[in-house]
C-alpha cells in the first residue's frame, strides 16, 4: 500500500495532472463564449433524465395494472408512457442539434484562431515542424477537441445527476437494491486507471504516426513528377504500406487491450444485472415488492451501471482531448512575430513614398539555431533606383540574407534598418527591420510561387484594387505580357496547382510581375530570374531600372551575366559581404 501511494504521489509530482489541468483551461478559452449553449445542453440532459425516471415509474404502474387486471387504467397509463417516449425522443433530437451546433462553432473557432497564430509564429521556430505535422495538428487535433468538447463539464454534470437521481429513487423504494449499483464500481475504477495510462501513451504515438503519414502523403503528392521521373512509384507504394502496417499494428494492440477491458466490464455488468434480477425475483416471490416494482428496479440498476460506465469513460475521453490540446499548444505557444510597429511603418512609407526608401545592414551577425555561423560583421546597402546584387556559392548565405531582411530570421548583432529622407548630410530617418516592415517589400523567392486560380487573381493577391490596366502594365515590365496576351482568356487564364500549365520561366515572370504590381519601395529577387534566358533576364532588370517608380532592388544570383546591369555587387566571403570592383565583376562574367 505504501508503495502504491508513493507511485501515485510521484505521478502527481511528474506534472501529468497539472499538465492536463492547463490543457483543459486552454480548451475552455474557446468554449466559454458558448456557455449559454452548454447550459442549455446540460439542462436538456437533466430534463431527459427526469423524463426517463418518470417513465420508469409509469412503466412500473403499467406492469402492475396489467398483472392486477385493472383494465380501466391501462389505456390512460399506456398513453402517458407513449407521450413520455415521444417527449424523450424530442429532447434527444434537440440535444443532438445543440451538440452539433456547439461542436461546429468550437471547431471553426479553434481552427481559425490556430490558423492565424501559425501564420504569425516565428518563422524559424515553425520550420522545426513538418508541414504534414502542422496540418494534422490544425485539422485532426482541432476536430478532436471540438467533437468531444461536451465530454467535459456538461456530460459530467448530466451523468452525475442521472446517477444520483436514479440512486435516490432506488433508495426511496427499496434500499436493498442499492447494493447492486456499487458491485461493479471497484472493477470499473481499477480498469479505467489502467486504460488511462495506456491511452495517454497510445494517443501520443497515434498522433505522431498520423502526422508522419500526413507528411509523407503531402510530400508524395507535391513531388509526384519527380517520383515518376525516377521511377520510384513502387518504392513509395511500399513505403506507404510500411507506414500503414506500423500504424495498424499500433492501433490494433491498443484495441485488443481496450477490447479486453470492455469485455471484462461488460461481464461484470452482466453479473450485476443477473444478481439484481435474482434478487428481484426473490423479493417478488416473498411479497416484499410487486412485479412492476421489480422491473423498475432492474431498469434503474441498468441505468446506474451504465451511467457509472459513462462517467469512467470520460477519463479516456478527457485524455484524448487534453492530448490534442497539448499538441496545439506546442504550436501556438511558440514565439510570435511582433507587428506592433505597423502604424509607424505605414507613416514612414507615406512620408517617403515619392523619394523612395533604402536599406542598410551594418556589422550584422547571424548564427543558425544549430550553431553554424553564417555572417560575422556583414554589411550591405541599397538605395532607390539601384539594383544591388548579392553573389556567392550555393549555401553561403544569400537566401539567409534575404530572410534576415524580411525579418524571418533575427540577427544576433549589428544593425539592419530601412532609411528615408536622403539629404546633403545623409539619411534623415531610419526604422529597424521588424515583421511590420515587410509591408515595404515585394519578394520573389526561388522556385514556383504561383497559387491556383487565374492570373488576375494571383496578381490581385498583393493589390486587391488593381485594375486590369495596372496588371497588364506589370506583366509588360516583367516581360510576361508577350505570352499572356496570346492566351484565350488573357489575364483570366487559369493557373493550376504549383503553377501548372506554365513553364518555369513563365511562372518566374508572372511572380516578378506580381511583385512589381504591389508597388513596394523595396524589391527582393532571390534567384528569381534563374529560369530565364540571358536576354530576357537583362530586359526584365532593365525595365525595373527604367521604371519611374523609386524602387530599391536587391537580387541574389548565381549567374554573373546579371551583374553588368547592377549598380553595386556584393560577394559573400568569409561570412562578410564584400563590394566587388569592375575588374572582379568582368572576370566573373568572362568565367561564366
| Complete DSSP assignment for 66-109 | HHTT-HHHHHHHHHHHHHHHHHHHHHHHHHHHHHHHHHHHHHHH
Residue 186's pLDDT band (cuts 50, 70, 90): low
- The answer on 354 and 297 residing in a single domain is no
Residue 294, domain CATH: 1.20.1560.10
N residues, the chain: 592
pLDDT in tens, 296-334: 777 777 777 777 777 766 776 777 788 888 888 888 888
Residue 192's pLDDT band (cuts 50, 70, 90): low
Q: Which three cell numbers stand for residue 518?
A: 504591389
- Lowest mean pLDDT, pick from 459-463, 466-470, 564-568, 585-589: 585-589
- The answer on 348 and 307 residing in a single domain is no
Closest CA to 19 of 323, 348, 462, 339: 323
212: exposed, middle or buried (Cβ count in 10 Å: 0-12, 13-18, 19+): middle
- The answer on 388 and 249 residing in a single domain is no
- Lowest mean pLDDT, pick from 1-15, 219-233, 238-252, 476-490: 1-15
| Complete DSSP assignment for 123-137 | HHHHTTS-HHHHHHI
- At a CB cut-off of 8 Å and minimum separation 6, what does 144 contact? 320, 321, 324
Residue 492 covered by a domain? no
**Angle between helical axes of 534-546 and 468-477 (0-180°, round to 10):** 120
- State which H helix or E strand residue 576 sits in: strand 576-579
pLDDT at 146: 76
- The answer on 407 and 311 residing in a single domain is no
CA angle 567/569/574 to nearest 5° reads 160
**Mean pLDDT for the chain?**
79
Higher-scoring residue by pLDDT: 171, 71 = 171
Closest CA to 516 of 486, 498, 540: 540
Q: Distance between alpha carbon 571 and the CA centroid of its chain, in Å?
A: 40
Give the span between the Cα atoms of 25 and 362, in whole angstroms.
Answer: 46
- The answer on 254 and 358 residing in a single domain is no
> With contact defined as beta carbons under 8 Å apart, do 448 and 486 qualify?
no
pLDDT at 592: 57
- State which H helix or E strand residue 568 sits in: strand 568-573
pLDDT at 417: 92
Give the chain's largest Cα–Cα span: 117
Residue 507 covered by a domain? no
Residue 119 covered by a domain? yes
Residue 163 covered by a domain? yes
Residue 224 covered by a domain? yes
pLDDT at 9: 45
Q: Is the pLDDT reported for residue 4 higher than 50?
A: no
- The strand ranges marked E within 201-254 are none
Give the span between the Cα atoms of 363 and 376, in whole angstroms.
Answer: 7
Q: Is the pLDDT reported for residue 86 higher than 80?
A: yes
Residue 196 covered by a domain? yes
Domain boundary residue, one of 332, 351, 383: 332
What is the rounded average pLDDT of the residues 259-275?
A: 69
CA dihedral 303, 307, 313, 315 (to 10 degrees): -170
pLDDT at 55: 82
Residue 99's pLDDT band (cuts 50, 70, 90): confident
Higher-scoring residue by pLDDT: 413, 24 = 413
pLDDT at 437: 92
> With contact defined as beta carbons under 8 Å apart, do 401 and 390 qualify?
yes
- The answer on 322 and 429 residing in a single domain is no
Residue 452 covered by a domain? no
Residue 508's pLDDT band (cuts 50, 70, 90): confident
pLDDT in tens, 212-240: 777 788 778 777 766 777 777 888 888 88
pLDDT at 2: 47
> With contact defined as beta carbons under 8 Å apart, do 468 and 485 qualify?
no
pLDDT at 405: 92
- The answer on 47 and 113 residing in a single domain is yes
- The answer on 395 and 250 residing in a single domain is no
Residue 497's pLDDT band (cuts 50, 70, 90): confident
- Lowest mean pLDDT, pick from 169-173, 198-202, 467-471, 510-514: 198-202
- The answer on 61 and 95 residing in a single domain is yes
Domain boundary residue, one of 280, 305, 332: 332
- Lowest mean pLDDT, pick from 38-47, 131-140, 470-479: 131-140
- The answer on 412 and 280 residing in a single domain is no
pLDDT at 182: 62
Residue 431 covered by a domain? yes
- At a CB cut-off of 8 Å and minimum separation 6, what does 366 contact? 373, 374, 375, 378, 400, 404, 409, 411, 412
pLDDT in tens, 23-58: 777 877 777 777 777 888 888 888 888 888 888 887
pLDDT at 537: 81
What is the rounded average pLDDT of the residues 9-14?
A: 46
Give the span between the Cα atoms of 361 and 376, in whole angstroms.
Answer: 12
- The answer on 265 and 189 residing in a single domain is yes
* Domain count across the chain: 2
Higher-scoring residue by pLDDT: 137, 569 = 569
Q: Is 575 left (phi over 0), alpha (psi -120 to 50) or beta?
A: left
- The answer on 356 and 307 residing in a single domain is no
Q: Is 414 left (phi over 0), alpha (psi -120 to 50) or beta?
A: left
**Angle between helical axes of 291-332 and 35-67 (0-180°, round to 10):** 160
Range of the domain at 381: 342-447+520-590
Residue 369, domain CATH: 3.40.50.300
Amino acid at each position: 500500500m505504501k508503495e502504491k501511494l508513493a507511485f501515485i504521489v510521484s505521478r502527481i509530482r511528474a506534472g501529468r495532472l497539472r499538465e492536463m489541468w492547463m490543457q483543459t483551461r486552454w480548451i475552455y478559452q474557446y468554449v466559454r463564449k458558448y456557455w449559454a449553449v452548454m447550459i442549455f445542453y446540460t439542462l436538456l440532459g437533466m430534463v431527459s433524465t427526469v423524463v426517463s425516471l418518470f417513465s420508469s415509474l409509469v412503466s412500473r404502474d403499467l406492469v402492475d395494472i396489467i398483472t392486477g387486471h385493472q383494465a380501466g387504467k391501462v389505456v390512460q397509463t399506456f398513453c402517458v408512457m407513449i407521450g413520455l417516449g415521444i417527449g424523450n425522443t424530442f429532447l434527444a433530437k434537440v440535444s443532438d442539434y445543440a451538440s452539433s451546433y456547439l461542436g461546429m462553432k468550437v471547431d471553426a473557432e479553434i481552427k481559425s484562431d490556430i490558423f492565424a497564430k501559425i501564420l504569425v509564429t516565428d518563422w524559424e521556430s515553425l520550420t522545426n515542424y513538418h508541414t504534414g505535422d502542422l496540418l494534422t495538428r490544425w485539422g485532426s487535433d482541432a476536430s478532436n477537441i471540438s467533437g468531444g468538447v461536451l465530454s467535459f463539464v456538461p456530460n459530467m454534470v448530466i451523468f452525475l445527476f442521472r446517477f444520483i437521481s436514479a440512486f435516490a429513487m432506488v433508495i426511496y423504494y427499496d434500499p436493498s437494491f442499492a447494493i447492486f449499483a456499487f458491485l461493479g464500481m471497484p472493477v470499473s475504477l481499477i480498469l479505467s486507471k489502467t486504460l488511462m495510462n495506456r491511452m495517454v501513451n497510445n494517443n501520443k504515438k497515434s498522433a505522431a504516426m498520423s502526422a508522419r503519414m500526413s507528411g509523407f502523403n503531402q510530400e508524395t503528392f507535391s513531388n509526384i513528377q519527380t517520383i515518376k521521373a525516377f521511377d520510384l512509384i513502387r518504392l513509395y507504394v511500399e513505403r506507404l504500406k510500411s507506414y500503414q502496417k506500423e500504424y495498424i499494428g499500433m492501433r490494433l494492440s491498443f484495441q485488443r487491450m481496450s477490447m479486453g477491458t470492455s469485455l471484462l466490464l461488460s461481464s461484470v455488468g452482466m453479473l450485476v444485472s443477473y444478481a439484481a434480477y435474482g434478487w428481484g425475483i426473490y423479493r417478488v416471490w416473498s411479497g416484499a415488492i410487486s412485479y412492476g416494482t421489480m422491473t423498475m428496479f432492474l431498469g434503474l440498476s441498468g441505468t446506474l451501471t451504465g451511467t457509472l460506465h459513462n462517467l469512467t469513460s470520460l477519463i479516456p475521453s478527457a485524455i484524448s482531448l487534453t492530448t490534442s490540446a497539448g499538441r496545439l499548444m506546442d504550436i501556438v505557444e511558440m514565439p510570435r512575430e511582433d507587428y506592433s510597429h505597423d502604424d509607424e511603418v505605414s507613416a514612414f512609407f507615406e512620408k517617403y513614398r515619392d523619394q523612395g526608401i533604402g536599406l542598410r545592414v551594418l556589422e550584422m551577425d547571424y548564427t543558425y539555431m544549430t550553431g553554424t555561423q553564417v555572417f560575422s560583421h556583414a554589411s550591405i546597402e541599397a538605395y532607390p533606383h539601384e539594383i544591388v546584387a548579392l553573389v556567392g556559392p550555393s549555401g553561403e548565405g544569400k537566401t539567409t540574407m534575404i530572410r534576415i531582411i524580411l525579418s524571418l530570421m533575427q540577427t544576433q548583432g549589428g544593425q539592419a534598418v530601412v532609411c528615408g529622407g536622403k539629404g546633403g548630410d545623409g539619411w534623415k530617418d531610419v526604422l529597424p527591420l521588424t515583421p511590420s516592415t515587410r509591408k515595404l517589400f515585394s519578394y520573389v523567392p526561388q522556385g514556383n510561387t504561383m497559387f491556383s486560380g487565374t492570373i488576375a487573381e494571383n496578381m490581385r493577391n498583393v493589390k486587391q484594387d488593381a485594375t486590369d490596366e495596372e496588371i497588364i502594365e506589370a506583366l509588360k515590365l516583367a516581360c510576361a505580357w508577350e505570352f499572356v496576351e496570346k492566351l484565350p482568356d488573357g489575364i483570366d487564364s487559369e493557373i493550376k496547382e504549383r503553377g501548372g500549365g506554365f513553364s518555369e520561366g513563365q511562372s518566374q515572370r508572372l511572380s516578378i510581375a506580381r511583385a512589381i504590381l504591389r508597388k513596394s519601395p523595396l524589391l527582393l529577387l532571390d534567384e528569381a530570374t534563374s529560369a530565364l534566358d540571358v536576354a530576357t533576364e537583362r530586359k526584365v532588370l532593365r525595365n525595373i531600372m527604367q521604371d519611374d517608380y523609386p524602387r530599391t532592388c536587391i537580387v541574389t544570383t548565381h549567374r554573373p551575366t546579371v551583374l553588368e546591369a547592377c549598380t553595386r555587387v556584393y560577394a559573400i566571403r568569409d561570412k562578410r559581404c564584400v563590394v566587388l570592383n569592375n575588374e572582379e565583376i568582368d572576370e566573373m562574367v568572362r568565367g561564366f
